[in-house]
Amino acid sequence: MRTDRKPLAGKVALVAGGTRGGGRGIAVELGAAGATVYVTGRSSGAGGSGLDRPETIEDTADRITAAGGVAVPVRTDHSRPEEVAALVERIATDQDGRLDVLVNCVWGGDPLTDWEHPLWEQDLDTGLRLLRQAVETHVITSRYALPLMVARKSGLVVEVTDGNTARYRGSFFYDLAKSAVIRLAFAQAAELRPHGVAAVALTPGFLRSEAVLEHFGVTEDTWREGAAVDPDFAYSESPAYLGRAVAALAADPDVLAKSGRALATWDLYKEYGFTDADGSQPDFAAHWAEALVDTYGPLGDPL
């Protein structure tokens, strides 16, 4: 039964790539809003992902439970179609064919990104591997998950990206991956609209992922100390902010009107009124316009 406190009660969500960072924040907030959340990724108590990170899908599941949600962690390599097919079959069996929210947040490209060299000086195999990890996984997951939404003629697909404009993102393969994800949302929106299913791309601002916090030598409790190293960090946002944006979209009965758009937390908080975990409402685009535009140029119009 839906309540104001649990607007997603009775809903089923799949967060692909929910081990850490934005994916974890989304999974936890969907659970807090009442959804049953299948959280997937390669990092599990049963084995790692090769990223040498401590976070696991079970950790995320524990956080969902602590937030009052229902979590189902399923170790899945989203580059393997057979594993994704098995995952979706399990969801269909468990939930009587129901899937209301699909979040494509698989990334894992940080160690593959070369920020120092132009395309012609980069290792081609590494760059292509990044594209397979960050784009092909999203295609595979949607291919198997979308039929559940189409059959029910409702649902929301969220493609998590970095930036919502055509501005170059600083590295060839990174830029190509993040831009391609926006196009994935656009293309899915076109095909899904006749079936009543929405698809959007969504970007956070300066996201305080676990790796970013480590880089600044702070924790989520002490993160403001990082502004002494980088003043822009004072305008960063936690993964919960991104999660609350997704939860707000999923609870919006008119979300189909946004289908095909590239959205951002810094716009959605104004419409839906959600806050970050500390009660603030970070707006990195406003900070950019005030402090960074003269150095880096404008962010550009949303795609």
Q: Write down the catalytic residue from 174, 235, 241, 269.
A: 174
Report which of 36, 51, 8, 225 is spatially closest to residue 20, judged by C-alpha positions: 51
CA 145 – CA 106 distance, rounded (Å): 15
Is the pTM above the cut of 0.85? Answer: yes
Tens-digit pLDDT profile for the chain (303 aa)? 344 689 999 999 999 999 999 999 999 999 999 999 999 999 888 877 777 788 899 999 999 999 999 999 999 999 999 999 999 999 999 999 999 999 999 999 999 999 999 999 999 999 999 999 999 999 999 999 999 999 999 999 999 999 999 999 999 999 999 999 999 999 999 999 999 999 999 999 999 999 999 999 999 999 999 999 999 999 999 999 999 999 999 999 999 999 999 999 999 999 999 999 999 999 999 999 999 999 999 998 888
Q: Structural domains in the chain?
A: 12-296 (3.40.50.720)
Question: Looking at residue 1, what is its pLDDT?
Answer: 37
- On whether the CB atoms of residues 155 and 101 are closer than 8 A, the answer is yes
Q: Are strands 12-16 and 101-104 parallel, antiparallel or unpaired?
A: parallel
CA 45 – CA 148 distance, rounded (Å): 29
CA 24 – CA 134 distance, rounded (Å): 17
Q: Is 272 assigned a catalytic role? A: no
